[in-house]
Amino acid sequence: MEDNYEYEKKTILIVDDEQKIVDLLVHNLKREGYNTIEANDGVTAVEMAKEQRPDLILLDIMLPRLDGLSVCKKIKNIYNVPILMVTAKDDELDKIVGLELGADDYITKPFSVREVVARVKANLRKVEVNVEVENSYKNNEEKKTEKKDSTIKIGNLVLDLEKYEVHIDGKVINLTLREFEVLKFLAQQPGQVVTREALLERVWGYEYYGDIRTVDVTVRRIRERIEKDTSNPQILITKRGVGYYIPNKD
């Protein structure tokens, strides 16, 4: 295994009321070097997430006692953990609601184990990279004196890369880590149109297993927070049929 995060024995919480699926995922994830814990209903899932703080959660939507969407919302209010929603139906509404509640990814049954493992690795890798970047700033105090190197400023938009904060006209805008990463990636290359596929690969961390709608929903959530008029965005612009960009206002 080449990736450092695999040596650290990350823990995956698997939440599904079908024990056969749980057993299948446990077997394959353990074979990849992960620890696994299990929950068969939503209430237990929330309790386990709160007590054991797993590194990633595979969360079925259709659960007894408490549905997966409610579980996702409750856990995201506790701490920021990658959540991969799993459902037996390819329901567009469920997918959008799940993403808006903070889910990081979406997998539809029946799924291939290879696909699940790939998405697990991609989401954990992204978290690991973000932690490494954050630690590098903390461990190099001299960089703090070079504030312009740790901020991106385009017009009235300012991104503080040390604090993972976004400011519009001096006001702090609350974004999730994923939303911040999307905005940062676009802001690092102002004026350049970035395709949805490129965003999916560079921000979510995988190339072939993603759903492009994941990008669109995330962009919509960002706009709701940073734009004065979402019907006429001035900061995060759509290039129809291509992708998104932040205009260079220098």
Coil/strand/helix, residue 102: coil
Model pLDDT, residue 134: 55
Model pLDDT, residue 250: 60
Residues of the chain with CATH 1.10.10.10: 142-245
Single-letter residue type at 209: Y
Residues of the chain with CATH 3.40.50.2300: 4-130
Cis-peptide into 110, omega within 30 deg: yes
User: DSSP code of 230?
Assistant: T
Q: What is the pLDDT of residues 107-134, one digit of tens each?
A: 888 888 998 998 899 888 877 766 555 5
Whether the pTM exceeds 0.75: the reply is no
The class (CATH top level) of 4-130 is alpha beta
Model pLDDT, residue 107: 87
> CA–CA separation, 217 vs 201, rounded Å?
16
Which residue has tokens 């989401």? 123
Q: Is the model's pLDDT at 74 over the cut of 80?
A: yes
CA dihedral of residues 139, 141, 146, 151 (deg, nearest 10) = 50
Who wins on pLDDT, 1 or 44? 44
> CA–CA separation, 16 vs 21, rounded Å?
7
- CATH topology for 142-245 is Arc Repressor Mutant, subunit A (1.10.10)
| Closest to 30 (Cα-Cα) out of 22, 42, 19 | 22
